[in-house]
Amino acid sequence: MLQIKENEILANHSTFKIGGAARYFAVAKNKEEILEVVNFAKGKKLPFFVFGGGSNILFRDEGFDGVAIKLSVVSYQLSDNKIIIGAGTPLAQVIMKSVENGLTGLEWGIGIPGTIGGCVAGNCGAYGHDISESVKKVKTLGREYLRNKCNFSYRESRFKGNDKKEIILKIELKLNKGDKEKSKTEIKNIIENRKGKIPPYPSIGSIFKNPKPLVARKLIEECGLAGMIIGNAKISDLHPNFIVNIGSAKSEDVFALIKICKEKVKEKFKIDLEEEIVVV
């Protein structure tokens, strides 16, 4: 049964552990519950936004004067080399289930937090790959999109952003037949490679897109900004494209560090850094 709560603290639903209260909040587990809470928001004449794992979203300190909908549509159907997944299914679960069924193509994503829905919306990627390579179809609340209609680009899609109201329900992925043991070895190697590179503090991953062919973290580092602290937010020494929460950081602390990074990189390299995170 759908529960709509009042004044739910969004920091509790963010990997950053930052954010004020949502006026209303619900966890929706299926299409019917999503429709119910969307209609609730419309009935109250309030804005709404939908999110998954909260691993790429910066929630503001002042909270959200509307309805926050946490998507928990979890399912996994396999047919040959095709899988259909509920948008709220954790990405790690999708990867491991695929490998266990002898499918390859998603190993690069191990260690990336969040749900498959959020991954598709932000076209997440690593090690020269991104999720759009494997997407065949995306089913939203209103319609179905083939891959070429999803407007995928670097860390973008037609579904990304709290202003987008196309709510992803399910994703159909097409993978390749692979060797289970080889995939497990690759995953093990990636996990090992990630050790010591991901800061051990709450964060929402990379803040900025890489201005290809350059790398954002190196530009920030060359500006001497690694380790800078404002309030309880810090530009990571380990990975300067991460801003981490070292205590009880506020969103305003993070915004201040983002502003400094953009200004200093622009001043030194004449490059405009662009955020890849979503701000709500």
Indicate which residues carry an active-site annotation.
155, 206, 276
Q: How many CB atoms lie within 10 A of CB 15?
A: 17
Residues facing 84 on adjacent strands: 77, 172
Asked whether 56 and 205 are in contact (CB, 8 A), the reply is yes
Reduce the DSSP state of residue 129 to 3 states and report it: strand
Any residues with CB less than 8 A from the CB of 273 and at least 6 apart, and which? 208, 209, 211, 216, 219, 261, 262, 265, 266
Identify any residues that bridge with 229 across adjacent strands, giving them in sequence order.
234
- Cα dist. 154→31, 129, 203 in Å? 29, 10, 21
Task: Give dist(CA 164, CA 49) in Å, integer.
Answer: 8
- Distance spanning both ends of the chain, measured CA to CA: 27
Q: Is 233 exposed, middle or buried (0-12, 13-18, 19+ CB in 10 A)?
A: buried
In sequence order, what DSSP letters do the residues of 15-44 get, joined into one string?
Answer: TT----EEEEEEEE-SHHHHHHHHHHHHHT
C-alpha dihedral, 206 to 272 to 249 to 53, nearest 10°: -40
CB-count exposure of residue 147 (10 Å: 0-12, 13-18, 19+): middle
